[in-house]
Structure formats: structure tokens, C-alpha cells
Structure 1
Amino acid sequence: MRLPGGLLREGELRRQFRFREPDGALELSILEGARRREPLPRQVSRVLVAALEHLGGEPPELAKVEELCIADRQFLMRRLRTWLGDEQPWHTVRCTGCQERFDFELNVAELPVKEAGAGFPFVEVETGQGRVRGRVPTGADQLALAERVTADVRALLERCLFPADVARLEEGDIALIEEALEAVSPGVVTRVGATCPGCGATQVVTLEPYSCLFMESTLLEEVHTLASAYHWSERDILALPLHRRRQYLRLVERATGQVA
């Protein structure tokens, strides 16, 4: 599988990645990670380290996944939810016109992905201060800003531009820099339109790119069921590949008459 952006190594973009076989240990790490009192960017990084078998041909490490651009991280988190077999095709939204709730079907995994542009992850822009060089923001930048009391676009540019006196940049210069970064950055869809069947009004629906962190899980109930039936340890059950755990659960259900 390929990232829309990638990691730059020795002048080459390394875009290949692979998730490891999903099992209960991975699911548990996601559940426990969501409970930690850590900034969201760090939670995302920990989950990706746990989920990836390799990243750009290298073992996943915290620093490497935080080096990924934001769109790559969003792309991976969406693909991970699909990898875990937890796609949610139906979404509910309240219409801003008639105020009624309605459901609409959307396969997030099939939404288009924008590939990185030429020169990624760097840009050069002519400003009032002369030509400045910048790079596309990363997970590390997200984390640094999340840990600040106040943060704005200038705080982000202080990390991503070189050399430049960000405080002296005109608003027009900032707009040019943002436009250039947007042009080379990959992207995933985070907003879609949905038409209300009642009044016909079109709603703009925001999609959570890190929804994998907030999945509802029956993992602990499944561990309890298998431990009760087979007297296996929690460690052994969590080590089972996801598809095998589900097969054993179906066998238990049949044996206890819970399914036909």
C-alpha cells in the first residue's frame, strides 16, 4: 500500500507501508490510547506505531510517524479503521433547514485521495521579505502546537518556514505561502455534502479523520466470552488474529444456541 505523500529519505519519497495482522492487542492499544490524557496528535502517533508493520521500508517509530505530513496520518488512520473491519457506511446528521435528523450512506474508504504535488514536501515562495522556503506541516508540528496555550497560523509557520521573520510577513504573503503548501500537500476528504430527504437542503458534513480512536468496541466482552468457554488467558486471546477470534466466537455462539 502507498501513502499519498511519504517520507523523504536521501532525496527519495518512500511511500510504501503495511499494517500488521490485526489482533486484540492492537485493538486494546487503541482503546487504552484514547483514555490517556495526551494531545490528540500523540495518541494518533502511538496508534500508528502499534498498527504498522513497516513505514517506508523501516520499522515504525514514534519520531517517524510524527514526521509524516498531516494528510498521510489522516489517510493511515482511515485505512486502519477499514483494516480492523469497522467501516461505518451509514451516517446521521441533523438538517440545518428543517431540523430533522436523517441518515445517509457513505463509504469513507472510497472517497478520493489527493496525491502530493511536485516538490513535496517543500515549497519556495516569493514574499515581501524575499524568497522563503517552507515545508508541509507534520504530526510533530501538530503536537508542538497542541502543547501551546495559544497557537495560530503564524506559530505554525515559525516551525515550517526557513529562513523568514514570520512576525514581519504581510497577510498577503501568508496567503501565498498557505496556497503553495496546499498545492503540494496530499489531502483526504474531510467534508462532504448530504441532501436532506425531507426538505431537499444540502448539508455540509464534517468527517472525523481520526474516528479510529473513537470506535465502539466489544473487545472486553469477546475476551470474557472466550475465556469463559475455553479457559484461555487474556494474553492468549488478545494474541489471536482478529479473523480467528471472530471464528471462535461464532463457534461458541453455535454451541450455546445463540445463533441458528
Structure 2
Amino acid sequence: MAVRALLSGEVLGLWDECRDASREERALALAAAVDDSADSLPPADRPVGRVTALLLRLHQALAGARMAATVSCPGCRGTVEFAASAEALLGLEDKIVDCPAPLLHGGYEVVWRCPSYRDLQAVAEQPGADDPDLGAALLLERCVLSLRHEESAKASARGADLPGAVREALTDAMAAADPLADLLVDLRCPDCELEFTADLDVAAFAWAEVECRGRQLLLDVDALARSYGWSEREVLALSEPRRASYVRILTGELP
């Protein structure tokens, strides 16, 4: 999947646009900004992993492949460091199935699709969706297109009508069809040695780099505008190497 490079002015625009947005809105705005594919579907309607792949490539373009962070141990509340590779995760992109085959399990035929960010947004707006079990049920309900039991000639489109074993099989099929949709990291606390699992929030990593780049651009604009009288547009029109060279002159790093 191709992504396009963001101009300096676009980075600042995204920073302004997304700083107060929800997690889902922010992820979609960043993905749409760099999307250079020929897919007729907007990122909001593609499998979640397709958006994750765009965000991974955005992170690579801004800061490289390495993603490092810390989480709090659920046992002792100590700090646990971890790192992931955007390049390695992108190796899972080829395993995403955009049009999955119907699930045949327990006498049921279930026609389904992978969850999208539009689904995540819709579920988040439902009362009680912060409950993990209810949220998962609401998401599955949206992704079941039709279902039929072998002993019934009538088709249904209600995922809630599925027995538990079939629902579990469908959840497993969804995870296999989009391995970038829900990224988890297995960790061990160095202090208490507790083993636990943490979410790898690619959207948060990408946003952190946009925010960092946006702050640095504002500092550059401020410094160059004060010294040379240039407007923000004129400063942002400079190439990154040229702008960095002028900043280095001002700080005395470039003789």
C-alpha cells in the first residue's frame, strides 16, 4: 500500500485538526491524509488493519520503524518498557482478507465482513459500549451480514441469534482475517516478573510523531520569522534540509 509524504503545512494542519478529536477520528484523519492507494473505499470502510498499515507507514516516514513506549505493570505498578517494529508488523498486511468467505460452523452458514473504523465509531456511541463484552457483541452484530442454519430455509442477519460456539468461531475467523486489527504485546515485568498483555496502539504512536513534528515546526517558524521576518507560509515552503540549516545558523551550530 502506497502512502504519500506530508508537506510541513499539512502536518501543522493535522495537528490543529486532530488535537481534540477522538481516538477513532484521529486515526482516520491521519490515515486519510497519507492514503495514496487506488482503493475506492475510504479508510473508514476498510478493515481496521488497512488503517493500521497506513499509520505504521506514517510512523516510519516521520520517525523510523522503531516504536518504543512504557506501560504500567498491573501487578506492582512498576514501569515496563517495550518496543515494536513497524516494518515487522507491516509483514502482516498481506494476510488481511478484505472479502472473507462465509463461516461454516455448527450447522450455520454466516456471511460476514471484517470490522472497520466506521463500526468502531458506531459501537463507541452506544450506551454501555465501554463494557468489553458488550462492545464485542455490538461489533460482531454489525459485521454479520446474514446467517442461515442448515435446518431452516429462512435467513437472518442477527449475530445475536448465533450460539456461543459459533460466535467464538466467528471471532477467531475475524482475528485471522485481519491480524493488524488488534495488536497485543506479551510482556514480563522486570520487578515482580508478572506476565501480562498490553495493547499496541499504533494510532497513538503515529499521533505522537505528528504532534512532535508539529511542535518543532512551530518553533522553527517562530525562530525564523523573528530573525528574518518571513511569514509562516514562507518558512514552511522551505525544504526540511534548508529550514534546518537556517535554524542551525541561528543556534550557532552552522558556521
- Under a length normalisation based on structure 2, what TM-score does the superposition of the two structures give? 0.75
Task: Output aligned runs, 1:152-163, within 5 Å.
Answer: 152-163=135-146
Q: 2:223 & 2:48 partners in 1: Cα distance? A: 39
> 1:226 — aligned with what?
224
1:28 paired to 2:26: no
Residue identity over aligned pairs, in percent, reads 25
Q: Is the 8 A contact 2:47 2:98 kept in 1?
A: no
Name the counterpart of 2:153.
none
Given candidates 244, 247, 250, the residue that maps to 1:249 is 247
Distance between the aligned counterparts of 1:182 and 1:115, measured in 2? Answer: 13
Against the structure 1 CA distance between its residues 229 and 122, is the aligned structure 2 distance closer, same or farther, given a 3 Å change threshold? same
Change over 3 Å in CA distance of 1:243–1:44 after alignment to 2: farther
Task: Say whether the 8 Å CA contact 1:123–1:180 is kept in structure 2.
Answer: no
Q: CA separation in 1, counterparts of 2:54 and 2:96?
A: 21
Q: Does 1:55 align with 2:37?
A: yes
Conserved 8 A contact 1:223-1:234: yes
Instruction: Name the structure with the higher strand share.
Output: 1
* 1:56-205 paired onto structure 2 within 5 Å: 56=38, 64-85=42-63, 90-95=68-73, 99-101=77-79, 103=81, 106-112=83-89, 113-117=91-95, 120-127=98-105, 130-151=108-129, 152-163=135-146, 164-187=157-180, 190-197=183-190, 202=195, 204-205=197-198
> What amino acid does structure 2 have at the position aligned with 1:154?
A
State which drifts further: 197-206 or 222-231: 197-206
Higher helix share: 2
Deviation of the 1:80 alpha carbon = 0.8
**Counterparts of 1:85 and 1:117, CA distance in 2:** 25
Of residues 27, 47, 58, the one that matches 1:44 is: 27
Q: Give unpaired runs (5+ residues) of structure 2.
A: 130-134, 147-156
Tell me which amino acid in the other structure corresponds to 2:19: R
Aligned counterparts of 2:119 and 2:217: Cα–Cα separation in 1 = 33
Instruction: Tell me how large the CA RMSD over aligned residues is.
Output: 3.2
Aligned partners of 1:45 and 1:100: how far apart in 2? 33
Offset of residue 202 of structure 1: 4.7
Cα distance between partner residues in 2 of 1:195 and 1:126? 38
Q: TM-score, normalised on structure 1?
A: 0.73
